């Protein structure tokens, strides 16, 4: 692993271009990444979800519910906007993917749209159901997120939709998510590649990677996992440390 990069430089690690529509899918870590990007990108940023997220999860951003274009434009003049389609109980409801496409296509409105396009119920690894993920058609950067703490663990214990994970991995849900199996799911067109527009760039982001020596077993599993993905898939990692998470590109 190369020298770590602070999480607030995740934009640099992801090589984000001047205008991007960014969709986040996969396991736990999407909301943290959503807000890291919202605060780190330079320009007019709309952060949103096409599924749902905790209504109290705002990271200091002012939430907007079903705003008009004028309302959204005014909000963006002061900083990133966090948009939802409504609040139900404790959840912010997702917008339609078409809305994300309309916002991104409007160059006078925004520079970036960042979307939490999948749900995992805090599990670190998953395979999508038929209705998942909900990725806008104009997405330019699709980021598949997985937690390092899923690797080497029993699929049924650590994964959302374990039967689907096992089917794509070619094993029983009561077996362990070994690196080769995890890579098979991430690469699969019905796994990590599902719903990604053909022209979008794909990046796999591994979160909660331990510092070398902190958890050697997990670190070795991560290295094996990356070896099964590269050079065909671009990979970065978010390293766990006493000072929070740090991004480290391979």
User: Which of 34, 17, 37 is CA-nearest to residue 26?
Assistant: 34
Tokens representing residue 1 in the block: 């692993």
- Residue 82's DSSP bridge partners are 47, 63
Using a pLDDT cut of 90, give the percent of the chain over it: 77
> What is the distance between the alpha carbons of residues 168 and 193, in angstroms, rounded to a whole number?
12
Domain boundaries of the chain, sorted by first residue? 5-247
pLDDT of residue 245: 45
137-164 pLDDT per residue, tens: 999 999 999 999 999 999 999 999 999 9
pTM listed for this prediction: 0.93
Q: Could you give the CA distance from residue 172 to residue 155 in angstroms, rounded to a whole number?
A: 8
Kindly state the tokens that stand for 107.
């160059």
CATH code for the structural domain at 5-247: 3.40.50
HEC string of the chain? Answer: CCCCEEHHHHHHHCCCCCCEEEEEEECCCHHHHHHHHHHHCCCCEEEEECCEEECCCCCCCCEEECCCHHHHHHHHCCCCEEEECEEECCEEECCCHHHHHHHHHCCCCCCEEEEECCCCCCCCEECCCCCCCCCCCCCCEEEEEEEHHHCCCEHHHHEECHHHHHHHHCCCCCCECCHHHHHHHHHCCCCCCCCCCCCCEEEEEEEEEECCCCCHHHHHHHHHHHHHHCCCCEEEEEEEECCEEEEEEC
Interstrand relation of 112-116 and 20-26 (parallel, antiparallel or unpaired): parallel
CA distance 89 to 123: 22
Average pLDDT score over residue span 93-114: 98
The label of the residue with tokens 């990692």 reads 237
pLDDT score for 237: 83
What confidence score (pLDDT) does residue 243 get? 41
pLDDT tens digits along 51-95: 999 999 999 998 999 999 999 999 999 999 999 999 999 999 999
Q: In what order do the strands lie in the sheet with 52-54?
A: 52-54, 91-93, 86-88
């Amino acid at each position: 692993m190369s020298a770590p990069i602070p999480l607030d430089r995740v934009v640099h690690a992801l090589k984000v271009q001047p205008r991007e529509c960014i969709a986040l899918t996969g396991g736990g870590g999407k909301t943290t990444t959503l807000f890291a990007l919202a605060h780190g990108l330079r320009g007019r940023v709309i952060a949103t979800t096409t599924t749902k997220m905790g209504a109290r999860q705002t990271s200091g951003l002012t939430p907007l519910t079903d705003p008009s274009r004028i309302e959204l434009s005014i909000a963006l003049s002061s900083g990133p906007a966090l948009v939802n389609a409504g609040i139900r109980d404790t959840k912010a409801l997702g917008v339609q993917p078409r809305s994300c496409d309309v916002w991104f296509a409007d160059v006078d409105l925004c520079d970036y749209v960042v979307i939490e396009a999948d749900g995992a119920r805090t599990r670190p690894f998953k395979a999508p159901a038929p209705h998942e993920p909900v990725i806008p058609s104009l997405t330019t950067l699709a980021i598949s997120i997985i937690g390092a703490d899923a690797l080497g663990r029993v699929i049924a214990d650590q994964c959302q939709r374990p039967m689907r994970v096992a089917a794509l991995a070619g094993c029983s849900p009561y077996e362990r998510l070994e690196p080769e199996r995890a890579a098979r799911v991430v690469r699969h067109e019905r796994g990590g590649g599902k719903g990604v527009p053909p022209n979008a760039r794909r990046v796999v982001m591994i979160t909660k990677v331990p510092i070398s020596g902190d958890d050697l077993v997990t670190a070795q599993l991560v290295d094996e996992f990356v070896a099964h993905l590269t050079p065909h898939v671009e990979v970065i990692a978010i390293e766990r440390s006493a000072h929070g998470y740090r991004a480290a590109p391979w």
